[in-house]
């Protein structure tokens, strides 16, 4: 039974706003710790060389959830699956609040990631509510909410930590997710898939889908490369700002807040993709992502000019990553209704692996080679994506 509306109607604006807000509030939990690596590691005793694990384990948990929980959206009722996942997030947030040591905190961080895949159940859920001709617009708008959650998470966490300590951020989030769970349980229409294989067969089918879907493989590699660069940047940059520019958590928050401007690319990319500009926009997103990191690499010193150049680099990098994300999701959501949850889970899992690798390499590189080594690794990721993109320009068999 499927209780969603008929496809000839537009998704109500209030519901699209709710889905966008929910995605942002949920996925923000993956990023609160990103600008707090310094205070958290000092508080619970994690060496700087492996402090990137604070972010990496959350992203690893997210990948686990994407592979083993999101595919369930093709099997069981979606609203119930979302609420169950959010309960996991709430319990894990409480675990971080009362964590007495590093091990407890890191295990809780892992489960925050696992439960936060609720956001990636809601994104394809929104496309089931949308008519085919408005899918790009709906994905763009919902993803704008998700991306704003990612980008606001960092400055918000820094500001809260500045005044009340890092644990306060997790307390606030636990309250917010609890209230959101209640609201979604009452507001979302049910959506039960019409038919699907059993869970075991569903998981096994992921390999077949990946092998049989060249568009998925291509779009996932693009985004994994760009998101790895993005995660490396935002793992390392707070450390650099504190060490070289002597910024407090409040100053780091203001820097990260400016990066939110990059989210404007998401709805624009969605609308232009509806007009058939996907391939051209993909190349543009990859190029500006690489160019932003090249600019950041050559920034020297601790002057105001250097800080402004780094800020511009952050905004441009965020634009490239967020725009390319919407292009990729729109492409894979066009491949088939009954496998949409699994395709989304694979896509997100692959690119979050890139993010986890970027976060870990960023923390390691900065500890042992400083900003230059970290930035060189960050540059190499979009460059790899661009080399692969050149093969797309020669191919006529893949429509993305």
User: Which residue range forms the structural domain that includes residue 161?
Assistant: 13-394
Q: Which residues contact 128 (CB under 8 A, 6 or more apart)?
A: 4, 191, 337, 340
Confidence of residue 331 (pLDDT cuts 50, 70, 90): confident
Query: How distant is the alpha carbon of residue 261 from its chain centre?
Result: 16
Least reliable range by pLDDT among 40-49, 244-253, 304-313, 316-325: 40-49
Please state, in angstroms and rounded to a whole number, the distance separating the CA atoms of residues 165 and 204: 44
Is the pLDDT assigned to residue 24 strictly greater than 90? yes
Total domains, the chain: 1
pLDDT digits (tens, 9 = 90+) for 358-395: 988 998 899 889 999 999 999 999 999 999 999 887 66
CATH code: domain of residue 302: 1.20.1250.20
Is residue 171 classed exposed, middle or buried when 0-12, 13-18 and 19+ CB atoms within 10 A define those classes?
A: middle
Is the pLDDT assigned to residue 301 strictly greater than 90? no
Across all residues in the chain, what is the average pLDDT?
85
User: Is residue 399 in some structural domain?
Assistant: no
Is the pLDDT assigned to residue 155 strictly greater than 50? yes
User: Is residue 7 in some structural domain?
Assistant: no
pLDDT digits (tens, 9 = 90+) for 184-240: 999 988 887 766 667 888 788 888 888 988 999 999 999 999 999 998 998 899 889
User: Is residue 1 in some structural domain?
Assistant: no
Q: Cβ(75)–Cβ(202) under 8 Å?
A: yes
Helices (H), 188-277: 199-212, 214-244, 249-258, 265-274
User: Is residue 29 in some structural domain?
Assistant: yes
Mean per-residue pLDDT, 42-70: 84
- pLDDT at position 6, please? 42
Mean per-residue pLDDT, 145-166: 86
End-to-end CA, the chain: 31
- pLDDT at position 195, please? 63
The winner for highest mean pLDDT among 36-50, 255-269, 295-309 is: 295-309
User: Is residue 336 in some structural domain?
Assistant: yes
Is residue 13 classed exposed, middle or buried when 0-12, 13-18 and 19+ CB atoms within 10 A define those classes?
A: exposed
- Per cent of the chain over pLDDT 70 is 91
Least reliable range by pLDDT among 99-108, 111-120, 259-268: 259-268
- pLDDT at position 373, please? 94
User: Is residue 107 in some structural domain?
Assistant: yes
> Quick check: helix, strand or coil at residue 301?
coil
User: Is residue 5 in some structural domain?
Assistant: no
- pLDDT at position 131, please? 65
User: Is residue 23 in some structural domain?
Assistant: yes
Q: Taking the model in full, what pTM does it have?
A: 0.76
- pLDDT at position 219, please? 93
Angle between helices 340-394 and 199-212 (to 10 degrees): 10
Is the pLDDT assigned to residue 336 strictly greater than 70? no
């Amino acid at each position: 039974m499927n209780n969603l509306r008929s496809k000839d109607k537009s998704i109500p604006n209030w519901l699209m706003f709710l889905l966008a807000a929910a995605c942002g509030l949920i996925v923000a939990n993956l990023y609160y710790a990103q600008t707090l690596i310094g205070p958290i590691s000092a508080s619970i005793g994690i060496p700087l060389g492996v402090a990137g694990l604070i972010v990496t384990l959350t992203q690893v948990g997210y990948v686990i959830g994407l592979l083993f929980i999101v595919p369930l959206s093709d099997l069981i009722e979606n609203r119930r699956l979302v609420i169950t996942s959010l309960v996991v997030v709430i319990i894990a947030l409480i675990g971080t609040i009362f964590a007495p040591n590093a091990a407890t905190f890191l295990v809780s961080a892992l489960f925050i990631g696992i439960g936060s895949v609720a956001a990636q159940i809601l994104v394809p859920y929104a496309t089931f509510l949308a008519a085919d001709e408005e899918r790009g617009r709906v994905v763009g708008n919902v993803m704008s909410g998700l991306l704003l959650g990612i980008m606001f998470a960092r400055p918000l966490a820094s500001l809260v930590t500045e005044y009340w300590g890092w644990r306060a951020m997790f307390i606030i989030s636990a309250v917010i997710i609890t209230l959101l769970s209640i609201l979604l349980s009452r507001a979302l229409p049910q959506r039960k898939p019409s038919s699907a294989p059993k869970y075991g067969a569903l998981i096994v089918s992921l390999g077949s889908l990946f092998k049989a879907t060249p568009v998925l493989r291509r779009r996932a590699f693009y985004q994994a490369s760009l998101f790895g660069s993005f995660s490396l940047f935002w793992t390392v940059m707070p450390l650099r700002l504190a060490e070289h520019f002597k910024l407090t958590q409040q100053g780091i928050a203001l820097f990260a807040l400016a990066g939110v401007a990059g989210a404007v690319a998401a709805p624009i990319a969605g609308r232009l993709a509806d007009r058939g500009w996907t391939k051209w926009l993909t190349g543009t997103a990859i190029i500006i992502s690489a160019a932003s990191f090249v600019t950041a690499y050559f920034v020297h010193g601790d002057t105001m000019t250097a800080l402004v150049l780094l800020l511009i680099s952050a905004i441009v990098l965020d634009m490239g990553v967020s725009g390319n994300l919407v292009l990729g999701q729109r492409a894979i959501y066009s491949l088939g209704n009954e496998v949409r949850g699994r395709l989304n889970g694979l896509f997100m899992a692959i690119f979050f692996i890139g993010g986890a690798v970027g976060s870990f390499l960023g923390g390691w590189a900065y500890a042992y080679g400083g900003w230059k080594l970290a930035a060189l690794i960050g540059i190499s990721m979009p460059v790899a994506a661009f080399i692969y993109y050149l093969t797309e320009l020669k191919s006529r068999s893949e429509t993305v």
